[in-house]
Structure 1
Amino acid sequence: MATQREENGIVTLTDAGTAQVQDSALWNDDLRPTTRAEHNWSGWSFATLWIGMCICIPTYTLAAGLIGLGMSVWQSIFTIFLGNLIIMVPILLNAHAGTKFGIPYPVFARLWFGSKGAHLPAMARALVGAGWFGINAWIGGAALDTLLTAFYAAWANVPMHTGIVFMLFWVLTMVIAYRGPQAVKKLGAFSAPILAILAIALFVWAYLKADGLGPMLATPSKFATTGEFLNVFWPALTGVIAFWATLALNIPDFCRYAVSQKSQAGAQLLTMPVTMAIFSFIGVAVTSATVVIYGEAIWDPVALLAKFPPYVVLIGAIGIVLASITVNVSANLVAPARAIENLWPRRITFGVGAVVTGLIGIAMQPWFIMENFGNYIFGWLGTYGALLGPIDGIAVADYWLVRKRRLDLVELYKPNGKYSYAGGFNMKSMYALLAGIGASLLGLIVPGLSFLWENAWTVGLFVSMFAYWWLMRTDASLLTQTEYEHITDVQRQGGVQQDRNVTV
């Protein structure tokens, strides 16, 4: 009897399949595969999702930070554009799995690491997401702090005033996060046009204040030779790639609701690179303009906001707060909350996972990460890129090269199913992960191999991808085409069952 049904490229559980696992310890209403009716996110939903996530302060500070490191405007834009094109490849490859099988990231990870081992990549993603949550909460809180100081100067004398506002912003974000990923669609649709208008307004101000586009783009490169540029370019490129390496892993959390592969892939491919390029250009152009206007490069938008009249501070603070909440809920809370929920699906809810994520974000001291662009680009982005690159490589290799897009949904929810491997752990994925991380770490240990660490995400991805493919190419958990067709009721366009010899 078929346990899953494939219709127009989307696989869902049949009633018989659901009955087999709905009482499993690995099943709950948040982690189960989506139903056909729940595949209701159009291309516009993904477009607004990415616009809302890309127009955020970390994007601005990433672009502006490259100027501070010595790049020219065009060197900065090239680095960011290239990094976004590179990370878009694993995003779309992993998005396919979420769309086709309707599973969230922690369940997707069970395929590669096992029912228990999946906690390792899920929690690795969770820790990075929690760190990003703390960063955005700190930025949003700082914007509110600036707003209060602009309208009430005595606020600056209140003990720990920045910390107080930071906690208020933290609580506000947590309340919104309780609504879960479906609320992201509404939040993105609301915030995307507002953020776009504010970004354009900031650019127009800089254009007028700096007397034209020429002075805004006139900041020269500080590198005298190509070698000097490359010494900064390679680790900076890794930082740009790592910027969305988190979403490259947990994009199934959102694409599991897509109406089709075509709609989600087309919308993501168009909106993410384009929005990042445009807003990055605004970031570097405005930062270059501050050199002309104020005599120094102001890469922190909150610090720039403080130089405006109070009514402008109010509008700007609203934009920064909205941007911080949008990216925090969509990009930084959903995946960690799901990962924490996956630790004990029958007892831990999404809401509890969100609160734990927020607490971890505070513990990771976002105020230190944002203290200067060296901490931000080389310390924060570069280091976690070395961890997530190998996991990205394993995910892509498993779905596309090893399993060839054939999964048994029921087995994903069985504690002792075929995807539990030995005692819930797939040691082959552990070896592949260590190989990828180890290859990057050689760049920190061996003189002359620093390029390995400077390109940690890319090196780790390819090393782990190849190692995983080699170790898993004949694994017993793989489904042949015949086995897949035996458990799957495949429907043609219009709902006509495909002819095959199987009892349904």
Structure 2
Amino acid sequence: MTTTEAPGDASPRLYNDDLAPATERRWGAFSIFNVWTSDVHSLYGYFLAASLFLVAGNTLKFLVGIAVGSLIIYWLMTLVGIAGVRTGVPYPVLARASFGTFGANVPALVRAVVATFWYGAQTSAAAGAIVAFLARYDGPRGFHESTHLFDHSGLEVVCYLGVWAAQLLIISKGMETVRRFQDFAGPAVWLMMLLLAVVLSVKAGSLSFAVDMAPADLAALARSATGLDVAPGSLAAIAAIAATWVTYFAALFLNFCDFARFTPDARALRKGNIWGLPVNLILFSLVAALTTSAAARVYGQVILEPAEISAKFDNVFLVLLAALTFAVATLGINVVANFVSPAYDFANVAPKYVDFKRGGLIAAVIALVLYPWHPWDNAPSFVNAIGSTMGPIFGVLIVDYYLIRRAQLNVADLYREDGEFRFQGGWNIRAFVAAGIAAVFSSILPTYGPSGYAATLGPYTWFIGVIVAGVLYFALSAGRSPLAPKPAPTTP
């Protein structure tokens, strides 16, 4: 039976107050819903949806692909979320059950590094929206064009630092402030996206989802924007849309329990997920498609960046409103998806010295150091790269919790060095073997293997990693349910 209390003899190497099972559970269905509005209603989320719209060829096929992907996302997020509700622990602590009390630091740090990359990408996108507005005026435009630092303009650097600092301020206040902020950010971005679609549709003179481009040009633009080598509108294109949409959430599949653990029960979790995932994702994607097609008719070109679209408005108030809203959207997704996870992940490495706030600070500093190199510029490739690293970890974690342990977990032993999850000195070798072999198929072969492998299976690397790791882990763990820990050495 699953317990939800840390033991009185918890090891300081495994426990602090932030990593302990949640006791206050105030994240109801509305807050869970807004986890998803904050996560997907971003500049990157819009860019990906608009890009996939080009791949679909028409609106119906686009909605089919997005709907299939969104239902898969809902099912998987609910699996992870229920584990969080039942145990009350964050992702790196839950990972101790499958990877070992100290081995869990490896998947935790992998997730943390991914989050810092996304933090930099989203912060850079928000800074770009603000730059687009300020550059309309002579003073800021002159500064933007004449001053350069770290391969960026001076204005870009200033805006990046401003958005970076604002996010750090929010995370420093703790998880309750995170909840209140994302309850505001999600609806605000929804309103702005709707306003953008309405304004452009009025300018276009009609409501249409068509993009007037020659098929060959559309196919070339779709490949350039998404990296998907498929014929727009084909069955392969619809499947690739669904797979890429699922992969976009690869990182949060791991650590959704960081939020779900504050939910009072599974019913509230499912309610928040159903509205926040299939319903919200489909509607958001539809708005992105409408905006893209309307902007193409108004400006005579396909523009996939919402900040670039809004910067073309004649109405200064609308441009300012859009810039501020996009900045809020980025704050929302970064706080929810890219600060909370590394805050727990870094704290998990050294709980005695690093708490939730210090963990978030570490993530922010790493993202700041990465800024001069801006490794996040290629969005579609970045999404697939993330999926390829996250899949094997997710496969091990889910198979361990649901198939090996039958959703029954001794939470107290997650905080003991000599408990059930000690394995081989705190490391579960079977989990690492399964994840390592799966990573060959999901990460190494797509990058260094035959070109045909990546071209054919690129959108599905996350799924390959999940399946290979899950099957191998289950096979290696056969007859060991629950997995037997290695006995702790006795003191003479």
Give the TM bin, normalised by the shorter chain. 0.7 to 0.9
Task: Name which of 52, 74, 84 aligns with 2:70.
Answer: 84
Opposite residue 248 of structure 1, the aligned amino acid is F
Q: CA deviation at 1:359?
A: 2.4
Q: CA deviation at 1:146?
A: 2.3
Give 1:238-257 correspondences, 5 Å limit. Answer: 238-257=243-262
SS of aligned partner of 2:4: strand
Task: Name which of 136, 148, 166 aligns with 2:122.
Answer: 136
Give 1:445-456 correspondences, 5 Å limit. Answer: 445-446=449-450, 449-450=453-454, 451-456=456-461
SS of aligned partner of 1:264: helix
Range 416-425 or range 93-102, more displaced: 416-425
Contact 2:168 2:364 in 1 (8 A): yes
Deviations 1:270-309 (A, max 9, x none): 3222212111221122112222111111111121122123
> What residue is the counterpart of 1:210 in the other structure?
204
> What residue is the counterpart of 1:494 in the other structure?
none
Give 1:29-178 correspondences, 5 Å limit. Answer: 29-35=17-23, 38-67=24-53, 71-150=57-136, 152-158=137-143, 159=147, 160-178=154-172
Opposite residue 239 of structure 1, the aligned amino acid is T
Q: CA deviation at 1:112?
A: 1.0
Deviations 1:26-64 (A, max 9, x none): 1100001122xx123221221222223222211111112
Deviations 1:428-482 (A, max 9, x none): 0111101221223445524654434441011111111111111123337548xxx
Contact 2:209 2:290 in 1 (8 A): no
Contact 1:102 1:256 in 2 (8 A): yes
How many residue pairs get aligned? The number is 459
Q: RMSD between aligned alpha carbons? A: 2.5
Task: Name which of 448, 458, 470 aligns with 2:463.
Answer: 458
Contact 2:437 2:469 in 1 (8 A): yes
Q: CA deviation at 1:425?
A: 0.9
Opposite residue 311 of structure 1, the aligned amino acid is F
SS of aligned partner of 1:19: coil
Give 1:161-240 correspondences, 5 Å limit. Answer: 161-214=155-208, 216=210, 222=218, 228-229=231-232, 236-240=241-245
**1:271 paired to 2:276:** yes
SS of aligned partner of 1:421: coil
Contact 1:28 1:346 in 2 (8 A): yes
Give 1:99-498 correspondences, 5 Å limit. Answer: 99-150=85-136, 152-158=137-143, 159=147, 160-214=154-208, 216=210, 222=218, 228-229=231-232, 236-308=241-313, 309-365=315-371, 368=374, 371=377, 375-377=378-380, 379-440=381-442, 441-443=444-446, 445-446=449-450, 449-450=453-454, 451-475=456-480, 477-478=482-483
Q: Distance in 1 between matches of 2:240 and 2:65?
A: 10
Contact 1:144 1:321 in 2 (8 A): yes
Deviations 1:41-94 (A, max 9, x none): 221221222223222211111112234568444444433332222232221111
Contact 2:133 2:319 in 1 (8 A): yes
Q: CA deviation at 1:370?
A: 5.8
Range 436-445 or range 231-240, more displaced: 231-240
Q: Percent identity?
A: 27
Range 290-299 or range 100-109, more displaced: 290-299
Range 435-444 or range 310-319, more displaced: 435-444
1:228/1:192 CA distance change after superposition, 3 Å: closer
1:478/1:427 CA distance change after superposition, 3 Å: closer
Opposite residue 231 of structure 2, the aligned amino acid is E
Q: Distance in 2 between matches of 1:365 and 1:288?
A: 33
Q: Flag structure 1 segments of 5+ consecutive residues without an equivalent.
A: 480-504
Q: CA deviation at 1:216?
A: 4.8
Opposite residue 176 of structure 2, the aligned amino acid is Q
Q: Distance in 1 between matches of 2:212 and 2:60?
A: 10
Opposite residue 381 of structure 1, the aligned amino acid is V
Q: Distance in 2 between matches of 1:18 and 1:458?
A: 37
Q: Distance in 2 between matches of 1:448 and 1:203?
A: 39
Contact 2:244 2:459 in 1 (8 A): no
1:388/1:68 CA distance change after superposition, 3 Å: same
Q: Distance in 1 between matches of 2:22 and 2:461?
A: 35
> What residue is the counterpart of 1:500 in the other structure?
none
Q: CA deviation at 1:350?
A: 1.6
Contact 2:396 2:435 in 1 (8 A): yes
Q: Distance in 2 between matches of 1:295 and 1:370?
A: 28
**1:20 paired to 2:9:** yes
> What residue is the counterpart of 1:492 in the other structure?
none
Q: CA deviation at 1:266?
A: 2.2
Contact 2:4 2:412 in 1 (8 A): no
Opposite residue 472 of structure 1, the aligned amino acid is S
Deviations 1:232-288 (A, max 9, x none): 656554432221111111011011111111110222123222212111221122112
Contact 1:215 1:292 in 2 (8 A): no
Q: CA deviation at 1:408?
A: 1.0
> What residue is the counterpart of 1:498 in the other structure?
none
Contact 1:135 1:366 in 2 (8 A): no
Q: Distance in 2 between matches of 1:102 and 1:61?
A: 34
Q: TM-score normalised to the size of structure 2?
A: 0.87
Q: Distance in 2 between matches of 1:385 and 1:332?
A: 15
Opposite residue 376 of structure 1, the aligned amino acid is A
Contact 1:26 1:414 in 2 (8 A): yes
Q: Distance in 2 between matches of 1:143 and 1:288?
A: 21
Q: Distance in 2 between matches of 1:455 and 1:366?
A: 31
Contact 1:216 1:292 in 2 (8 A): no
Deviations 1:187-219 (A, max 9, x none): 122223322221211111121111212365666
Contact 1:54 1:275 in 2 (8 A): no
Q: Distance in 2 between matches of 1:438 and 1:46?
A: 35
Q: Distance in 1 between matches of 2:22 and 2:209?
A: 52
Opposite residue 384 of structure 2, the aligned amino acid is G
Q: Distance in 2 between matches of 1:278 and 1:47?
A: 14
Q: Flag structure 2 segments of 5+ consecutive residues without an equivalent.
A: 148-153, 221-228, 485-492
SS of aligned partner of 1:346: coil
